[in-house]
Amino acid sequence: MKIFLILLGVFLKQQFGLSAAYDRYVRRKEALWQPFLALAGFIGVGYLLLTFYLRLLNSLHNVSVQLNQPGMIVLLGFLLAQMIVLVFGLFYLISIFYFSHDLELLVPLPIPPQIILGAKLGLVVISEYLTVIPLTLPPLIIYGLKQEAGLLYWLLSPIIMLLLPLLPLGLAGIAIVLLMRFTRLAHRPDTVRVILMLIFFGITIAVSSISAFFDSRGVVPDEVARLLSGGPNSLLSIVGRRFPPALWGALALVEPGAKAGLNLAMFLLITALSLAGLWFVARHSFYQGLLGSGAVPKKKSRQASGPLEREMLISPRPVLAALVSREWLLIIRNPIFAMTAAQALIIPPLLLFIAVISGNSLAQLRQLAALPEFQLWGTLGFAGLVAINPIIASIPATAISREGMLFWISQVIPVAPRIQLLAKLVFTLVIAAVIGALMAVVLIPLGLPAKAAGIGLILGIIFAVPLAALSIAVDTLWPRLNWVSPQQAMKGNTNNLIVMALIAGLAYLLIRAALFMNKSGWDMSYIISAMGIIFLLLGVGAIAVMYRLAPLLYLQQSFGIGKGAETTAPARVRDGGKLRIRFSLWDLFYRYGRIILTGLTIIGLAIFLGREFIMGVTLEYEFGPDYVKFQNVVIPYEELVEVRLLEEVPPLSNRVGTSIGNYRSGTFTVEGIGRGRVVADDRTKPALVLFTNKGFYIITPDNAAERYKEIMEKTERMAE
Amino acid sequence: MLQLKGVSKSYDRGKTWAVDNLNLEINSGEIFGFLGPNGAGKTTTLRTIVGLLPPDRGTIVFDGIDVWKKPLVAKRRISFLPDNPNIYDRLTGLEYVRFIADVYGVPAKERRERLERLLHIFDMAAAAPDLIKSYSHGMRQKIALIAALIPQPDLLVLDEPITGLDPRSVHLFKNLLHEHCRAGGTVFFSTHILDVAERLCDRVGIIRKGRLIACGTMEQLRRDRMADTTLETLFLELTESEAETTETETEAEAGKREREKERSREDK
Ligand SMILES: Nc1ncnc2c1ncn2[C@@H]1O[C@H](COP(=O)(O)OP(=O)(O)OP(=O)(O)O)[C@@H](O)[C@H]1O
Ligand SMILES: [Mg+2]
């Protein structure tokens, strides 16, 4: 037991960097503003999230009481927590049990494997509490207060809450230990990460297609009615049937008397069983799975061991070619980098393809492509796609970060930082061109005019120059070099966020410009040339910025993880003992710009996403004397061709926009009408369909019937 | 000639100095051994020379080129081998060597000759086409060495180059260094293996807590100490004491005095 506690203590310190934090903030009292700022931010964000969650739970609770299902929120909390533990536990357990570097130290020590395993499990459990408690505590409190629960409830609920993560972790643990025992995966962290990524990707696609399915159908009312007719808390058991232990835990709290006891017993039993199972399996299989040869497959080119073949393999190349080839090899030989890039590079075109060939959108696209306008927008759109693709794949924005601990090589080789950055730019452009050509091959048979594809491809590569140079410049300023797992370098790199925000702003301005040119009656060839010239100029500017920043690369410290691995800001020294750091705006930007910009981007994103949500709540339809106004749309009555009144919004599909609850905003395919704009604050309310010459709008104002009459009268009067 | 003038480097903004006002001159054609206890500042010094760590103070000049003012010109003439052979392990040995040769612009003919020779010397011909990931520690060290040697730079900066090499490789490696110097090249390397340093180096420098406490040929060091000892004894004496010393008096002397004082205090 003592060894167990010591081990657990060490793990916790290592995992959460407690010793480092203690050393820095308590012992040396350095940078004390950091923990305070973090705390303030944590409290702020936590407060927002919590109030949001509480409100949600509160209304859920009210609904569930009306439906005679008061225990619902407790169950929902439990289910959510256990599901999350199950999914994330898998990732967490694998990395902590098998791929953590301390195992090489621990295994040779005279400590029984169960203790190591137990301490590691303890670490995972404690980490999981960080998600379980915030998720389950609020519903437990709300239920307890509102239902005026007894003493037993208050005593039992914290215990059950703390036991919650054990069961899913036990199950996940058994699965993983067995998997590792009977496969060689324990020695292939990269392979496992790729598999997990694929699983995650599968889940994402499944969830989005399911939600798309419900989007178009909605929940069938009969089914809900049938669910509810089964007496108090019946819904609970139906929902909980998917994962019974959560149900038992919840029922132990919300059912009266003996039933609660039975459920509690079941809950405890199954939890204990899963732990015992894990214990048993681990005793017999943990080390077997762990140990054994960690063979790296040798790259088969044995023939190259003769002098002649070698000569071909090492023939001289121009420096730029050598650097570009290095970029390529470093991405393609690292499964994580390769997968991350491939996901973003291949999957959007793939989804596009699936979306286009499924259903009737193919015909629609063909129609669209036949329009004269499409030549312009198709070309520009395709060019944008070609340019943005490598950016989304985070290829340029992590180009330096990816080098990680090996960045020292870039620092000692006799190649100017500018040239090294240029190589990264060229590499990005090559990727853009290759994937762009691939997309053209897919899209041309589907209706993209060949001319638009050809011009779009060239234009896209021009578009890509400033975007890529800007991304590389950001990574030059704030590379993330001290990563351990490659995911941190690429997906988990906040430079992506910064870059996407910058590019989104730029794209917005340029689209506006293109729209303006088009409105002013410019010829298509003029607009395209103008765009090309604008981007060329931007490209020159962005490359200039990138070049200006290039020398910063020499200031990075890429070796060793720890304080030495931080960036040394350009420090100026005065004579005498201590270093003086010269503070200037530039230094501040260099040090804190990344955090500030990331923060701003996240806030911006939150506002952007939240805006729709708020709009859904506060959406107003304004009926003026001779117009209707909603969101950013104004329709003068004289433009109306036809108005229809419907009992509710017809089923919608192929969403391009937002749908939260019953709120719908965006462009949809509306059953029986066609494709048009829907701005409905509640799709179950009576709806007005406003047809104009350009298309139709569906809105759901209060008292739609009266509005309908009003509009009809006014338009008739106008017609006379 | 490599000159370090008043080089200082701190990792914690001046609270402690990993390298403290270091002055050194290393002549062309010389093999210079850099010795010192763990954490003395050897690696830090080498990194400031090759452009990995900007020194907080002082200048480093190689053949009249300030390595931090004209980094590219300097880098073209310097090769570096880090203390742990942390190189692109997802490349094959050949791919890595080719990359280095490309960026140093080694012409085809020289490249072929040197590579064949080095692969043969280090017995790496068979393993060269394999992924570096599959190499043993010593093999990694060897391929990193080959990559450092293939440009035939004027200055070789090597951080503990022989740790991990087998005796045969060490022997051949020493010959290589001699050859390099005969051709006018300079070698600056750190090591913990004293008898290698003793036999291989033209001069040695001993650093302790970031300060140079002794520097010169073996002869000079012995003469200073007035004893016909080995480098090992010298090293042990010099680095033994805990006392801070000025540059004029050696550590060991100060240590002795310190101990005597303590003893006399205890006697009283
Ligand atoms: N990345 C780093 N961050 C903080 N301090 C560092 C870092 N690297 C080295 N130091 C400190 O600088 C001092 C000198 O370290 P250095 O690595 O130069 O020693 P060394 O002489 O190479 O030692 P060894 O013989 O163990 O290789 C040590 O006190 C060490 O703690
Ligand atoms: Mg060292």
Identity of residue B50: V
A287 and A323 in a single domain? The answer is no
Which backbone phi and psi does B190 adopt, to 5 degrees? Answer: -105, 150
Nearest ligand to residue B22 Cα: 1
Looking at every residue in chain A, the average pLDDT score rounds to 79
Sheet-wide strand order for A696-699: A640-646, A687-692, A696-699, A674-680, A663-670, A652-660
What is the tens place of the pLDDT at every residue in B121-173?
Answer: 999 988 888 889 889 999 999 999 999 999 999 999 999 998 888 999 999 99
pLDDT at B146: 94
Q: Which helix (H) or strand (E) holds B4?
A: strand B2-9
What mean pLDDT is predicted for residues A329-356?
75
What angle in degrees, to the nearest 10, is found between the helix axes of A113-146 and A244-254?
A: 50
Band of residue A562 on the pLDDT scale cut at 50, 70, 90: very low
Residues of chain A with C-beta less than 8 angstroms from the C-beta of B76: 414
pLDDT at A114: 76
Query: Which has more confidence, A91 or A528?
Result: A528
Band of residue A221 on the pLDDT scale cut at 50, 70, 90: very low
Cβ distance A329 to B95 less than 8 Å, yes or no, reads: yes
A90 and A8 in a single domain? The answer is no
A281 and A327 in a single domain? The answer is no
Query: Which has more confidence, B76 or A261?
Result: B76
What mean pLDDT is predicted for residues A586-598?
81
- Whether the CB-CB separation of B68 and B82 falls below 8 Å is answered with no
Cβ partners under 8 Å of residue A309, min gap 6: A303
pLDDT at A403: 92
A326 and A262 in a single domain? The answer is no
pLDDT at A717: 80
- Whether the CB-CB separation of B229 and B217 falls below 8 Å is answered with no
pLDDT at B53: 86
Query: Which has more confidence, A197 or B55?
Result: B55
Whether the CB of B88 is below 8 Å from some CB of chain A: the reply is: yes
pLDDT at A217 over 60: no
* Number of separate helices (H) and strands (E) present in chain B: 10, 10
Lowest mean pLDDT among A261-275, A549-563, A642-656, B194-208: A549-563
A377 CA to centre of own chain:
29
Interface test with B, best of A28, A314, A319, A403 (most B CBs within 10 A): A314
Asked whether residue A595 is domain-assigned, the answer is no
Cβ partners under 8 Å of residue A91, min gap 6: A196
Q: Which residue's alpha carbon is at the smallest distance from atom 3 of ligand 1?
A: A564
Looking at every residue in chain B, the average pLDDT score rounds to 86
pTM, two decimals, is: 0.73
Band of residue B247 on the pLDDT scale cut at 50, 70, 90: very low
Cβ distance B54 to A568 less than 8 Å, yes or no, reads: yes
* Distance in angstroms (rounded) separating the CA atoms of residues A65 and A89: 33
Residue A670's domain spans which residues?
Answer: 619-719
Lowest mean pLDDT among A156-170, A243-257, A652-666, B243-257: B243-257
Q: Of A299, A323, A559, which is closest to B129 when you measure between CB atoms?
A: A299
Q: Of B50, B87, B108, which is closest to A316 when you measure between CB atoms?
A: B108
Band of residue B114 on the pLDDT scale cut at 50, 70, 90: very high
Domain B2-77+153-226 in this protein, CATH class: alpha beta
pLDDT at B72 over 50: yes
pLDDT at A215: 44
- Whether the CB-CB separation of A125 and A165 falls below 8 Å is answered with yes
A437 and A357 in a single domain? The answer is yes
pLDDT at A612: 58
Please state the domain extents for chain B: 2-77+153-226
Asked whether residue A298 is domain-assigned, the answer is no
pLDDT at A432: 94
Lowest mean pLDDT among A208-212, A240-244, A694-698: A208-212
Number of independent structural domains in chain A? 4
Asked whether residue A57 is domain-assigned, the answer is no
Dihedral of alpha carbons A680, A681, A684, A686, sign: negative
Q: Which residue's alpha carbon is at the smallest distance from atom 11 of ligand 1?
A: B18
Asked whether residue A266 is domain-assigned, the answer is yes
Which of the given ranges, A179-193, A331-345, A676-690, has the highest pLDDT on average? A676-690
Tell the burial category of B222 from Cβ atoms under 10 Å away from its Cβ (0-12, 13-18, 19+). middle
Residue whose token pair is 């290393």: B26
* Distance in angstroms (rounded) separating the CA atoms of residues A283 and A118: 11
Query: Which has more confidence, A147 or A655?
Result: A147
Coil, helix or strand at residue B58: strand
What mean pLDDT is predicted for residues B187-194?
91
Please report, for residues A227, A346, A366, A505, A539, the alpha-carbon distance to residue A454 in angstroms, rounded to integers and kept in the order given. 56, 20, 18, 27, 21
Where does ligand 1 bind, in terms of residues with CB under 6 Å?
A 560, 562-564; B 11, 18, 36, 38-44, 83
Asked whether residue A594 is domain-assigned, the answer is no
What mean pLDDT is predicted for residues A327-331?
92
Residues of chain A with C-beta less than 8 angstroms from the C-beta of B47: 559
Lowest mean pLDDT among A248-257, A592-601, A685-694: A248-257
Asked whether residue A494 is domain-assigned, the answer is yes
Cβ partners under 8 Å of residue B251, min gap 6: B208, B213, B238, B239, B240, B241, B243, B245
Asked whether residue A414 is domain-assigned, the answer is yes
At CA B149, angle to CA B143 and CA B151, rounded to 5? 120
CA-based radius of gyration for chain A: 30
A362 and A244 in a single domain? The answer is no
Whether the CB of B86 is below 8 Å from some CB of chain A: the reply is: yes
pLDDT at B246: 43
A323 and A272 in a single domain? The answer is no
What is the tens place of the pLDDT at every residue in A512-524?
Answer: 898 898 888 888 8
- Whether the CB-CB separation of B7 and B57 falls below 8 Å is answered with yes
Asked whether residue A574 is domain-assigned, the answer is no
